Amino acid sequence: MVMVTEMHLRESEGGRERFNYRGMHRYLITLFIAKAGAVIPDREFVLSLLSSLRKASSEHGFDVYAYCIMPDRLVMIVRGKTEVSDMKQFLSAFRVFSSAGHAARGEVLWARKYRERVLRKTEVTRDVAEGVFRLPVTLGLVVPPGKYEFQGSFVVPSMTQRSPRARTPRKAGRHFPPRRDKPIT
């Protein structure tokens, strides 16, 4: 079932309307580690991040379609489940939950600023997720795609596996039809 929602805009001081980050929208979000050159330490820490992400997404009405935890950042695709789902509140809660141990030591885990992009209705979530899942290969963390341990989806367990319907990568500026291998006769 496809749900169509309207973007709710609010008026800002200059008379222009601004996006309010509430509703059933999809977002591509990148959070960076606060210290330059800092590294997410180990598997146990990654598991605690995932637990915090699960808790925040559950409490604030978001689905996590894709996540990839890399040494210096977290990249994720999330979608609000209801018209009152608020991305900024969800992200704030996640940052608080995941930073609890660091805050107790007087440290900051996440950089104050982050990157977010509202996905357009024409963008296919699986295609954007494939880009997220290719990041460890692009950054040289792993060689074979799909073999990175700290990526996945809370909604679609097989999201990290390339589907037969998935689009093949396109070369810059040119559109090629999907490759179809013909059997040798």
Strands (E) in the chain, as ranges, are 9-11, 17-19, 26-33, 62-70, 73-80, 110-118, 151-152
pTM of the model as a whole? 0.76
pLDDT digits (tens, 9 = 90+) for 14-58: 656 678 899 999 999 999 999 877 788 788 989 999 999 999 999
Q: Which amino acid is present at 27?
A: Y
Q: What's the CA gap between 184 and 171, in Å, rounded?
A: 27
| Confidence category of residue 180, pLDDT binned at 50, 70, 90 | very low
pLDDT digits (tens, 9 = 90+) for 58-94: 999 999 999 999 989 999 999 999 999 999 999 999 9
Q: Is the pLDDT of residue 143 over 70?
A: yes
C-beta separation of 67 from 151 below 8 A: yes
Q: According to the model, what pLDDT value does residue 15 have?
A: 57
Beta bridge partners of 29: 76, 116
Q: Which amino acid is present at 107?
A: E
Using DSSP's 3-state secondary structure scheme, residue 140 falls into coil
Q: What's the CA gap between 34 and 29, in Å, rounded?
A: 16
Q: Which two tokens stand for residue 124?
A: 């296919």
Q: Which amino acid is present at 100?
A: A
Q: Which two tokens stand for residue 140?
A: 């040289």
* Residue that has been written with the tokens 């996590």 in this structure: 64
Domains, the chain, ordered by start: 19-152 (3.30.70.1290)
